[in-house]
Amino acid sequence: MITPNWYASVMGTGIVATAAASLPVTVPGLRPVATVVWALAAIVLVAVVVASVRRGLGHRDDPVLLHFWGAPPMALLTVGAGTLLLGRDWIGTPAAVAVDLVLWTAGTVAGLIVAVAVPYRMMVHRPATGGDAFGGWLMPVVPPMVSAATGALLVPHVPDGRDLLLACYALAGVSLIAAFVVLTQIWARLIRHRVGPAATVPTLWIVLGPLGQSVTAFHLLGKAAPGVLPDPYATGAQVFALLYGVPVLGFALFWAALAAAVTVRTARAGLPFSLTWWSFTFPVGTVVTGASGLAVRSGSPLLTVLSLLLYAALVAAWAVVAVRTGRLVLSRPSARPAPQPAPARPVSRPAAAHPAPHQAAPQSAAFSPAGPRR
């Protein structure tokens, strides 16, 4: 069966394209390359969807993979946004809008279902402890924020964009408040229970997702507000985008420094490859789009340079992870290491008993390089 975290490869590839289209400066030759990357993301999306239909999309009871059901909706939204931003160069604006509307609607509906269903399942079926929280807990609640950001791009292309704009603000609220609640639990877990197994370390970068995506969303919503909302609300949306975005970008950079320090420390002892490495891509890409939006809005040379540097880091991370994933896909099934069976639920241990970063990952197919047995 196919695990939902395979859709993270679509997200990570798509954000490389959409982030290129969002940069505050024009880089010669970058747009055609970005359009090719968008097409690659669309192809990968089709391939993963077909594989999911043929083999099934399972592991609903896996305590780790359960959270990665947020990946399929975000994959749809990312490819849809890329279609509007870049694909229109190939298929024309009317077709691009139509495709994006379909993908945005499907991704938004699926994302809202996941945002409710996964926390509900955690509450009533599998009670968790403070030591269980990890970056993947954010995956189910981030899709509505991605819907808010990508929906803002559609506002100028619908007959009456006011309701869509307000709906996007509501979607942003769903995700933002839920993400902050989860983030406090992740912080508490890291302080009280240490970093944990090496294979979970990449998921620390997922925290950047709701941060960067919220900055992007409020920038794009503020950009779409004039002519749709009356004053003073349109002006207020513009002001809020900057006054919210700069502090949150600062916290995102702070978290990136922490995550980078932990990642480097873990890599020295051994950081096994798994699909969670895609956490190095999409979350970083959201910070790129957020920084780019703030650079455009403020005219800051510092933010412009920052967005370019972050984009260079994103491309480098994507290249490494894409190559490693390609090797995994091309390797023979018989050569793939067999995953460990998933436990009934993760067990929280005292800080002194927690494994060092170089120890084995949690017994979940989410952290196996090969994924589940087929």
What is the four-CA torsion angle of 73, 306, 298, 283, rounded to 10 degrees? Answer: 10
> pTM of the full predicted structure?
0.86
Give the pair of three-digit tokens for residue 65.
Answer: 């993979």
Tell me the CB-side half-sphere exposure of residue 66, using CA atoms within 13 A. 25
Q: How many CB atoms lie within 10 A of CB 345?
A: 13
10 Å CB burial of residue 219 (0-12, 13-18, 19+) is buried
Q: With b meaning 16 or more CB within 10 Å and e meaning fewer, what string describes 252-285?
A: beebbeebeebbeebeeeebbebbbbbbbbbbbb
The pLDDT of residue 160: 85
pLDDT for residue 345: 47
pLDDT of residue 197: 81
Q: How far is CA 235 from the centre of its chain?
A: 29
> What pLDDT score was predicted for residue 129?
64
pLDDT, one tens digit for every residue, the chain (374 residues): 778 889 999 999 999 999 999 999 999 999 999 999 999 999 999 999 998 888 776 666 677 788 889 999 999 999 999 999 999 999 999 999 999 999 999 999 999 999 999 998 888 876 666 667 888 889 999 999 999 999 999 999 998 899 999 999 999 999 999 999 999 999 988 888 878 788 889 999 999 999 999 999 999 999 999 999 998 999 999 999 999 999 999 999 999 999 999 999 999 988 888 888 999 999 999 999 999 999 999 999 999 999 999 999 999 999 999 999 999 888 855 444 444 444 444 444 444 444 444 443 444 555 555 454 43
Domains defined along the chain, listed by start: 4-332 (1.50.10.150)
Cα 253 from Cα 258, distance rounded (Å):
9
- Residue 355 confidence (pLDDT): 42
Q: Which two tokens stand for residue 9?
A: 């490869």
Side-chain-facing half-sphere of 257: CA atoms under 13 Å: 5
- Which tokens is 146 given? 């991605």
d(C-alpha 291, C-alpha 302), whole Å: 10
Residue 132's pLDDT is 79
The string of DSSP codes covering 138-175 is GTTTSHHHHHHHHHHHHGGGSS-HHHHHHHHHHHHHHH
Per-residue pLDDT reduced to its tens digit, 331-345: 855 444 444 444 444
Q: What pLDDT is recorded for position 330? A: 85
- Long-range pairs for 295-299: beta carbons < 8 A, 24 or more residues apart: 295/24, 296/24, 296/219, 297/219, 297/222, 297/238, 297/241, 297/242, 297/245, 298/242, 298/246
Please report the pLDDT score of residue 163 as a whole number. Answer: 95
Structure-block tokens of residue 147: 């819907």
Q: Write down the pLDDT at residue 328.
A: 87
